[in-house]
């Protein structure tokens, strides 16, 4: 109201008799506000000394604890064409179940009798290697026979050489004897001629002595001829002995050369056999890869390649599968500044997407709808987002995680740290200090040491 009149309402009206007007007086209202404000201040002061649980909030998602239990993509080992699908998205498949069948698109695998014909090539090469092995054994036997025969031939030639030497010696003695007989015969002839000249011998005796001298001379020539012939036989025996060794070396070298050639052919055939066996094994394994099988029990999540007749390359993604029985865990990410606060075994509370919860981050005991977890692994290096990955599993000491929880669901994690007074947490937040790095036991130990 504007006070433009000199007449005052309080002067003209009795306020004490107006009960409703008296209740609007500011005196009592101010006292009530003071009481309420005082009560609030007392409650706030008391709350400053209440326990507060320090925590770190982090986003994450549900995954599997083991790498082999996480969702995976099945790839095609072969390049081929999709011929038939045996499952649909969402179907459950057991390990080894056929998911789809593909056919070959490379012309070297079109032959329907590829495996039997390759086996025939393997058998043929194997027999070829065996035949070369038999030839090697025959040549080895031939070499052994040559060595034995060479020993006998050498012994025979040595005996023949010894006989020739003895014959030369015998003929030499005969020749010497013939020369002595010749000298004696010559002397007797000369004496007979002298006696005939003196008339002491008859002509008949002289002619008889000449005949005997002719016989002695013939025997000398014959003995010399035999002696020379024996020497030639000795030389021939020596040549034959040396020829035996040279002939043996020549035959042995040829046999060994043939043996090594056969061994080389045998090894080449064995190598070809091994290569064909390897090729046959590859063909056999390749035939098995035409059917794409489920690597483990799970559910078909998404078909990457669809349709009939679609061509796929080697290593292309075909279908995604989610393992059926997986130990769930949560991957949460923390900043580098908070990493020293997280240790293996720390407790974590989670709010899963789809499950309502009432959360008091500082008082996890009175929160409702959260689920407990335990830290089991911490990465040793930061990821692309400059955050560290922390792996958390279900806490066996608390309520089990929901049965309908699926991999990929979002999770809001609250890592539980130390219990401190509320005033300390407010003071820490206002000053921008990090949470306590040490446990209460470590603090007590440090205080006792001081």
pLDDT value, residue 443: 45
Q: Are residues 129 and 244 in the same domain?
A: yes
pLDDT tens column, 180-233? 777 777 777 777 777 767 766 667 776 777 777 777 777 777 777 777 888 888
Q: Are residues 318 and 426 in the same domain?
A: no
Backbone φ and ψ for 417, nearest 5 degrees, come out as -115, -135
pLDDT band for position 447 (cuts 50, 70, 90): very low
Name which of 301, 323, 298, 327 is nearest 391 in CA terms: 327
Q: Are residues 308 and 330 in the same domain?
A: no
Asked if residue 240 lies in contact with residue 163, where contact means CB atoms within 8 angstroms, the answer is: no
Q: Are residues 269 and 336 in the same domain?
A: no
Q: Which of 288, 304, 337 is the last residue of a domain?
A: 288
Name which of 416, 398, 345, 405 is nearest 374 in CA terms: 345
Q: Are residues 212 and 167 in the same domain?
A: yes
Q: Are residues 298 and 393 in the same domain?
A: no
More confident residue, 122 or 365: 122
Q: Is residue 319 part of a domain?
A: yes
- Range of weakest confidence among 53-57, 241-245, 343-347: 53-57
Q: Is residue 36 part of a domain?
A: no
Asked if residue 316 lies in contact with residue 292, where contact means CB atoms within 8 angstroms, the answer is: no
Q: In what order do the strands lie in the sheet containing 80-85?
A: 291-293, 98-104, 80-85, 311-312
Q: Are residues 150 and 88 in the same domain?
A: no
More confident residue, 374 or 419: 374
Q: Is residue 393 part of a domain?
A: yes
Above 80 in pLDDT, residue 105? yes
- Count the domains in the chain: 3
Extract the runs of DSSP E, i.e. beta strands, from 335-446.
Answer: 347-352, 371-378, 388-394, 410-421
Q: Are residues 283 and 147 in the same domain?
A: yes
Q: Which of 288, 305, 338 is the last residue of a domain?
A: 288
Give CA–CA dist 111/126, Å, rounded. 23
Percent of the chain scored above 70 by pLDDT? 81
Q: Which of 239, 265, 288 is the last residue of a domain?
A: 288
Q: What is the CATH number of the domain that holds 444?
A: 2.40.30.170
pLDDT value, residue 450: 46
Q: Is residue 8 part of a domain?
A: no
pLDDT value, residue 425: 67
Give CA–CA dist 229/248, Å, rounded. 28
Above 50 in pLDDT, residue 82? yes
Q: Are residues 137 and 243 in the same domain?
A: yes
| Contacts of residue 122, Cβ cutoff 8 Å, sequence gap at least 6 | 273, 276, 277, 280
Distances (CA, A) of 275 to 108, 121, 154: 17, 11, 48
Q: Is residue 45 part of a domain?
A: no
Q: Are residues 267 and 284 in the same domain?
A: yes
Q: Are residues 336 and 304 in the same domain?
A: no
Q: Is residue 195 part of a domain?
A: yes
Give CA–CA dist 324/14, Å, rounded. 87
Name which of 422, 415, 397 is nearest 351 in CA terms: 415
Above 80 in pLDDT, residue 264? yes
- Range of weakest confidence among 54-58, 326-330, 382-386: 54-58
Q: Tokens 């923390």 correspond to what residue?
A: 334
pLDDT tens column, 359-398? 656 656 656 667 888 999 888 888 778 888 899 988 888 8
Asked if residue 255 lies in contact with residue 142, where contact means CB atoms within 8 angstroms, the answer is: yes
Q: Is residue 193 part of a domain?
A: yes
- Range of weakest confidence among 47-51, 154-158, 326-330, 435-439: 435-439
Q: Are residues 229 and 182 in the same domain?
A: yes
Give CA–CA dist 383/389, Å, rounded. 7
pLDDT value, residue 446: 45
Residue 74 in tokens = 């099945």
Helices assigned H by DSSP within 317-413: none
Q: What is the CATH number of the domain that holds 280?
A: 1.10.287.620
* Domain with 407 in it: 53-68+326-449
- Range of weakest confidence among 90-99, 261-270, 290-299, 434-443: 434-443
Residue 131 in tokens = 């035949």
- Determine the number of helices (DSSP H) and then strands (DSSP E) in the chain: 7, 14
Mean pLDDT of 40-65: 77
More confident residue, 392 or 47: 392
Give CA–CA dist 18/16, Å, rounded. 6
Q: What is the CATH number of the domain that holds 311?
A: 2.40.50.100
Give CA–CA dist 120/90, Å, rounded. 45
Q: Is residue 268 part of a domain?
A: yes
pLDDT value, residue 438: 45
Extract the runs of DSSP E, i.e. beta strands, from 6-47.
Answer: none
């Amino acid at each position: 109201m504007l006070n433009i009149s000199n007449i005052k309402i309080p002067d003209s009206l009795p306020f004490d008799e107006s009960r409703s007007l008296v209740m609007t007086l500011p005196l009592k209202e101010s006292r009530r506000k003071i009481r309420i404000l005082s009560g609030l201040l007392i409650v706030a002061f008391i709350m400053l000394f209440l326990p507060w649980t320090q925590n770190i909030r982090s986003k994450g998602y549900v995954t599997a604890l083991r790498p082999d239990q996480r969702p995976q993509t099945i790839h095609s080992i072969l390049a081929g064409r999709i011929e038939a699908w045996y499952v649909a998205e969402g179907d459950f498949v057991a390990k080894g179940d056929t998911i789809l069948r593909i056919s070959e698109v490379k012309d070297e695998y079109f032959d329907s009798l590829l495996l039997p014909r390759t086996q025939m090539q393997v058998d043929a090469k194997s027999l070829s290697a065996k035949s070369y092995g038999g030839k090697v054994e025959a040549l080895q036997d031939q070499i052994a026979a040559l060595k034995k025969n060479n020993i006998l031939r050498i012994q025979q030639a040595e005996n023949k050489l010894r006989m020739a030497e003895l014959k030369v010696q015998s003929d030499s003695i005969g020749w010497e004897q013939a020369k002595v007989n010749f000298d004696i015969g010559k002397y007797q002839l000369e004496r007979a001629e002298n006696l005939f000249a003196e008339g002491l011998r008859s002509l008949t005796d002289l002619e008889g002595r000449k005949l005997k001298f002719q016989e002695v001379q013939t025997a000398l020539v014959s003995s010399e001829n035999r002696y020379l012939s024996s020497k030639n036989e000795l030389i021939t025996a020596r040549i034959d002995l040396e020829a035996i060794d040279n002939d043996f070396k020549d035959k042995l070298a040829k046999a060994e050369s043939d043996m090594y050639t056969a061994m080389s052919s045998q090894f080449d055939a064995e190598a070809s056999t091994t290569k064909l066996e390897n090729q046959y094994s590859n063909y056999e394994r390749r035939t098995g890869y035409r059917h794409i099988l489920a690597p483990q029990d799970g559910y078909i999540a998404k078909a990457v390649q669809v349709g009939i007749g679609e061509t796929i390359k080697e290593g292309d993604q075909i279908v995604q599968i989610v393992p059926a029985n997986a130990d769930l865990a949560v991957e949460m990410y923390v900043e580098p500044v908070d990493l020293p606060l997280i240790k293996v075994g720390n407790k974590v509370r989670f709010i899963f997407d789809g499950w309502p919860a009432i959360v008091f981050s500082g008082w996890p005991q009175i929160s409702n709808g959260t689920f407990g977890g335990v830290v089991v692994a911490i990465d040793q290096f930061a990821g692309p987002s400059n955050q560290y990955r922390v792996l958390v599993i279900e806490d066996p000491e608390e309520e089990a995680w929901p049965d309908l929880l699926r991999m990929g669901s979002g999770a809001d994690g609250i890592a539980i740290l130390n219990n401190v007074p509320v005033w300390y947490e407010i003071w820490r937040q206002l000053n921008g200090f990090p949470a306590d790095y040490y446990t209460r036991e470590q603090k007590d130990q440090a205080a006792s040491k001081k």
